[in-house]
């Protein structure tokens, strides 16, 4: 009973901490983290709070005031006045919502909201005057930030004075627990005058009908542009479940130029326009949505409910301030014949893997990671394991230090390597292993390196490595003895364009070939180089005293490319967090940080489909966070699972790499070991008949002992016991076969006899000879799904309801959205030193 009460108190404390976390708009602006739901009516407090950043910038948190929708397809609106009278500019949007509860959000700007209530049903409208769309979100889309010098103009004499947030709650069953929702968006505003004004151009179909069972249906939109030049920088697509691909183009003199093309079933973010596109007077803007009616038994029309469809192509643009127009729409097809010449790519659906859809919805089919305990890689004789990667054939590549060790004598106070007299490592430092049996396939890297650190492999199979002693980055061909490219000056630390200071990792964009280097232990920056090694740009700065801000680093230690979202994520080691940035600009997009990380996060790896893997560092004295591996949903940042090894223990896990089949490898710089882990799904058992007995084997013939740790690690004792049980089981396998067979034959007979005796006794003592127990009828009730009530209210004024030629039967409402140093063995201090932090927070330069 006491244990139950203790657990209940712990849950209450966690509940309170979560709610308190919602109270600080500063925390949500400075630390982006999607949450699956708001847990309390206290998640906002009583007033909307404005947080000032310096003299000119401030944040405004716009959230639903702890609402619980009563029926599906509910549209709720709320308004927030601009907290200043003079002109301001919105330069950043950070959403706070999950598609598990919220179908979509729209943010409008206007001067007179439709209601003065705390919140209201959007059937009453959004604004009484003209409204402009400033932002749109759906399907767990990440944050959106505008280019430098560009902002949405608000306030002043002519611009919008109110923000109106519209939230569409699709399926009300998400609220069966009656929880309160505080979804919304945080705006970053500035008083600094922006030379370029942002606007939104919305292309949408209003009269498309999708016949049931029809395999392909096109919805085309086209308008002539009749205004001052505008420059496009981002796009977003939106349909409901039947949409396969949406494409947008500029047509000039018969030439089609792609603006953007994306699957509407992927996160509906604003994606950057890949190549600059400008729109001039009399150009044509054209868009096509491709639908499929397969699986439907009735016609599907354009509308605002989950069972309707939509065809929307949003364009974010900027114009010179003197000509700026904040919002434009196109809802017609001015030239149907021109679509005969649309590029063929617009007709090709973009396939989305089912696991991607599940990750987007936050659904995970009992996914967890366990050690492959029979993998022989633990028996390899390695030096300090500093880097791991997978080559194009999915073989494991290991970068280790041979007989060299990074310790307290390795560098002087100016980061100059002090052990050059040892010469370079005489062993092959790069080894390639079969991922199934750890068989050596290839090795290289002899007499080249002093202190290896980071490793990656590009799409052509070239090895990219960093050496913290040489302060250099190398590109090596798999079969080449000499480097193909060297960046940095040997043994010379520095912080200019031509020098590094203990660079930690390198990543190569598979699409552009751009090179990204994390630099490093004594610099706090990410540097981008062209494919041939020319300096392009850099970003990052040293962490401020007291707190770490976005874009600041305290040892950027590991890199992970997110190609499908054009992002680069960085393990910001001593700040214990992951930071992600846009590849093209280096702009901060999000932070992932959990208490379970502790103070250090060493490495991060991304798997296409939305999974993020990471490993942390050993806890500081007196701290409880365990050293472990993490599996996260990249879209939400949620921790799905944690894991630790059963054989040996993590001591300083230094790098992690994962494959698309969810096989994970972790290299430890102190244990000098590489562990293999796999998902329980991958290790799905297959039945093999041997001598009439069903024996379970894994697909890779590797017995798996689960080490599932959800949020709370198992105790050391329990893990030791599991390990011992596994060893005893191995030792007794051959001697147990006879006993096993005999037991399997006898047990069914005993069980059958027991069942017969029990049935006879039960009949005579409880029911009598004819007794029958019938279930209560209430246990067989079926809950119907509720549809939203019909209404003539529409969410963008009455424009669409009065649109010429529009005759949608049963149309409820029309929104523009829809449903959907290694530890020293003598003294226990850190000395990889990776120059790892001491128990007290170290100065940045000494870490």
Task: Name the nearest CA neighbour of 80 among 105, 117, 53.
Answer: 117
Give the position of tokens 């039945």.
Answer: 687
Give the pLDDT of residue 573: 97
Catalytic residue among 78, 96, 166, 360: 166
Q: What is the pLDDT of residues 788-833, one digit of tens each?
A: 333 333 343 333 334 433 333 333 333 444 433 544 444 433 445 5
Nearest-Å Rg of the Cα atoms of the chain is 30
Catalytic residue among 238, 301, 404, 557: 238
Give the pLDDT of residue 329: 94
Residue 563 CB burial class (10 angstroms; 0-12, 13-18, ≥19): middle
Catalytic residue among 64, 105, 168, 328: 168
Q: What is the pLDDT of residues 240-296, one digit of tens each?
A: 989 999 999 999 999 999 999 999 988 777 888 988 899 999 999 999 999 999 988
DSSP-assigned states of every residue in 495-557: -STT--SSEEEEEE-TTT--EEEEE-SS--EEEEE-TTS-EEEEE-EEPPSSSPPTTEES-EE
338 is catalytic: no
Give the pLDDT of residue 747: 67
The token duo for 527 is 């540097």
In which region does residue 468 sit, left (phi positive, over 0), alpha (psi from -120 to 50) or beta (all else)?
A: alpha
* CA–CA–CA angle 347, 349, 350 (5° rounding): 135
Give the pLDDT of residue 590: 93
pTM (global) more than 0.85: no
**What beta strand segments (E) does 147-242 contain?**
150-154, 162-169, 184-190, 196-204, 209-210, 217-224, 230-238
b/e map 349-381, b = 16+ CB within 10 Å:
ebeeeebbebbbebebeebbbbbbbbbebbebe
Residue scoring higher pLDDT (428 or 786)? 428
Q: How far apart are CA 666 and CA 388, in angstroms?
A: 8
103 is catalytic: yes
Residue scoring higher pLDDT (357 or 753)? 753
The token duo for 95 is 């959403």
CA–CA distance from 832 to each of 15, 383, 404, 428, 618 (Å)?
38, 12, 11, 21, 12
Give the pLDDT of residue 50: 83
The token duo for 782 is 């079926």
Give the position of tokens 């979560």.
Answer: 18
Give the pLDDT of residue 116: 93
Given a contact cutoff of 8 angstroms between Cβ atoms, the answer to whether 631 and 606 are in contact is no
CA–CA distance from 346 to each of 165, 247, 314, 351, 557 (Å)?
33, 6, 16, 13, 41
191 is catalytic: no
Q: The dihedral of CA 77, 81, 87, 92: what is its sign? A: negative
Catalytic residue among 96, 188, 240, 594: 240
Residue 762 has pLDDT above 70, yes or no: no
Residue 733 has pLDDT above 80, yes or no: no
Q: Which of 682-691, 743-752, 827-836 has the lowest mean pLDDT?
A: 682-691
Element (H, E) at 15: helix 2-22
Mean of the pLDDT values across residues 4-12?
49
360 is catalytic: no
Element (H, E) at 570: strand 567-572
Residue 599 has pLDDT above 70, yes or no: yes
Q: How far apart are CA 341 and CA 323, in angstroms?
A: 32
Q: The dihedral of CA 339, 340, 344, 350: what is its sign? A: positive
Q: What is the pLDDT of residues 607-626, one digit of tens each?
A: 987 899 999 999 888 888 89
- Tell me the pLDDT of the chain averaged across its residues: 78
Give the pLDDT of residue 113: 95
Given a contact cutoff of 8 angstroms between Cβ atoms, the answer to whether 183 and 294 are in contact is no
3-state secondary structure of 438: coil
188 is catalytic: no
240 is catalytic: yes
How would you classify the pairing of strands 541-542 and 552-553?
parallel
Catalytic residue among 64, 99, 105, 310: 310
- For the chain, how far is it from start to end, CA to CA, in angstroms? 47
Catalytic residue among 103, 368, 453, 471: 103
Give the pLDDT of residue 752: 64
Q: How far apart are CA 143 and CA 591, in angstroms?
A: 11
Give residues with Cβ within 8 angstroms of 789, minimum separation 6. 71, 812
CA–CA distance from 165 to each of 81, 126, 137, 183, 187 (Å)?
11, 8, 11, 10, 12
**Per-residue confidence band for 654, with pLDDT thresholds at 50, 70 and 90:** very high
Q: What residues form DSSP beta bridges with 167?
A: 76, 105
Q: What is the pLDDT of residues 529-578, one digit of tens each?
A: 999 999 999 999 999 887 899 999 999 999 999 987 889 999 999 999 99
Task: Name the nearest CA neighbour of 79 among 43, 35, 124.
Answer: 124
Q: Which of 41-55, 211-225, 466-480, 702-716 has the lowest mean pLDDT?
A: 702-716
166 is catalytic: yes
Give the pLDDT of residue 688: 32
Give the pLDDT of residue 235: 93
Full 3-state SS string of 16-36: HHHHHHHCCHHHHHHCCCCCC
């Amino acid at each position: 009973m006491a244990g139950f009460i203790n657990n209940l108190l712990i849950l209450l404390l966690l509940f309170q901490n979560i709610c308190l976390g919602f109270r600080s708009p500063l925390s949500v602006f400075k630390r982006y983290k999607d949450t699956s739901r708001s847990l309390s009516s206290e998640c906002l407090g009583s007033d909307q709070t404005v947080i000032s950043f310096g003299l000119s910038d401030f944040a405004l948190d716009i959230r639903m005031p702890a609402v619980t929708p009563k029926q599906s397809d509910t549209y709720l609106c709320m308004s927030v006045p601009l907290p200043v009278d003079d002109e301001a500019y919105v330069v950043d949007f950070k959403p706070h919502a999950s598609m598990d509860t919220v179908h979509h959000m729209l943010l409008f700007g206007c001067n007179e909201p439709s209601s003065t209530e705390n919140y209201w049903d959007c059937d009453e409208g959004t604004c009484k005057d003209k409204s402009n769309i400033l932002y749109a979100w759906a399907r767990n889309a990440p944050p959106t930030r505008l280019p430098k010098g560009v902002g949405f103009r608000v306030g002043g004499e002519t611009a919008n004075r109110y923000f109106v947030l519209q939230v569409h709650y699709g399926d009300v069953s998400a609220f069966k627990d009656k929880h309160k929702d505080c979804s919304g968006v945080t705006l970053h505003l500035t008083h600094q005058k922006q030379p370029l004004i942002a606007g939104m151009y919305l292309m949408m179909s209003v009269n498309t009908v999708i016949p049931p069972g029809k395999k392909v249906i096109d919805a085309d939109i086209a308008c002539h542009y009749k205004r001052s030049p505008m420059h496009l920088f981002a796009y977003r697509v939106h349909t409901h479940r039947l949409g396969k691909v949406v494409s947008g183009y500029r047509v000039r003199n018969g030439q089609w130029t792609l603006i953007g093309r994306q699957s509407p079933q992927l996160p509906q973010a604003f994606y950057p326009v890949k190549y600059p596109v400008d729109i001039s007077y009399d150009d044509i803007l054209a868009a096509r949505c491709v639908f499929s009616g397969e699986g439907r038994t009735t016609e599907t029309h354009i509308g605002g409910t989950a069972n309707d469809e939509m065809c929307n192509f949003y364009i974010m643009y900027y114009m010179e301030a003197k000509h700026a127009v904040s919002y434009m729409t196109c809802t017609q097809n001015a030239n149907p014949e021109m679509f005969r010449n649309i590029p063929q790519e617009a007709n090709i659906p973009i396939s989305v893997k089912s696991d991607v859809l599940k990750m987007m919805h936050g659904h995970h089919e009992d996914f967890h990671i366990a050690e492959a305990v029979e993998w022989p890689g633990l028996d390899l004789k390695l030096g300090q394991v500093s880097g791991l990667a997978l080559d194009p054939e999915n073989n494991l590549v290991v970068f280790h230090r041979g007989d060299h060790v990074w310790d307290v004598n390795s560098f002087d106070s100016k980061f100059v390597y002090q052990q050059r007299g040892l010469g370079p490592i005489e062993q092959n430092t790069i080894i390639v292993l079969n991922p199934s049996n750890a068989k050596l396939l290839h090795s290289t890297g002899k007499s080249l390196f002093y202190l290896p650190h980071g490793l990656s492999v590009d799409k052509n199979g070239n090895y990219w490595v960093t050496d913290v002693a040489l302060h250099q980055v190398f590109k090596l061909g798999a079969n080449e003895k000499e480097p193909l490219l060297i960046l940095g000056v040997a043994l010379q630390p520095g912080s200019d364009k031509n020098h590094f200071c203990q660079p930690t990792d390198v990543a190569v964009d598979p699409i552009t070939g751009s090179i990204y280097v994390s630099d490093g232990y004594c610099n706090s920056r990410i540097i981008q180089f062209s494919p041939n090694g020319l300096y392009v740009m850099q970003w990052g700065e040293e962490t401020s005293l007291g707190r770490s801000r976005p874009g600041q680093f305290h040892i950027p230690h590991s890199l992970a490319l997110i190609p499908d979202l054009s992002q680069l994520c960085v393990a910001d080691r001593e700040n214990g967090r992951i930071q992600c940035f846009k590849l093209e600009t280096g702009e901060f997009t999000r932070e992932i940080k959990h208490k379970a990380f502790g103070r250090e996060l060493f490495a991060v790896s991304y798997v296409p489909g939305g999974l993020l893997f990471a490993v942390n560092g050993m806890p500081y004295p007196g701290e409880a966070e365990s050293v472990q591996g993490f599996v996260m949903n990249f879209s939400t940042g949620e921790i799905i699972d944690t894991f630790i090894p059963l054989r040996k223990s993590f001591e300083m896990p230094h790098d992690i790499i994962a494959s698309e089949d969810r096989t994970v490898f972790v290299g430890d710089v102190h244990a000098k070991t590489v562990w293999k882990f796999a998902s329980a799904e991958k290790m799905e058992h297959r039945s093999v008949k041997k001598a009439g007995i069903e024996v379970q084997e894994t697909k890779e013939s590797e017995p798996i002992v689960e080490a599932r740790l959800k949020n709370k690690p198992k105790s050391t004792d329990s893990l030791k016991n599991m390990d011992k049980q596994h060893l005893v089981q191995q030792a007794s396998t051959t001697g147990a076969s006879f006993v096993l067979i005999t037991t399997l034959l006898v047990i069914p007979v005993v069980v059958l006899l027991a069942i017969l005796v029990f049935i006879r006794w039960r009949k005579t003592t409880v029911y009598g000879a004819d007794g029958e127990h019938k279930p209560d009828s209430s246990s067989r009730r079926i809950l119907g799904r509720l549809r939203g009530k019909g209404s003539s209210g529409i969410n963008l004024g009455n424009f669409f309801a009065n649109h010429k030629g529009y005759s949608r039967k049963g149309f409820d409402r029309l929104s523009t959205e829809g449903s959907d140093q290694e530890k020293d063995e003598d003294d226990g201090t850190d000395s990889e030193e990776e120059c790892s932090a001491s128990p007290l927070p170290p100065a940045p330069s000494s870490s």
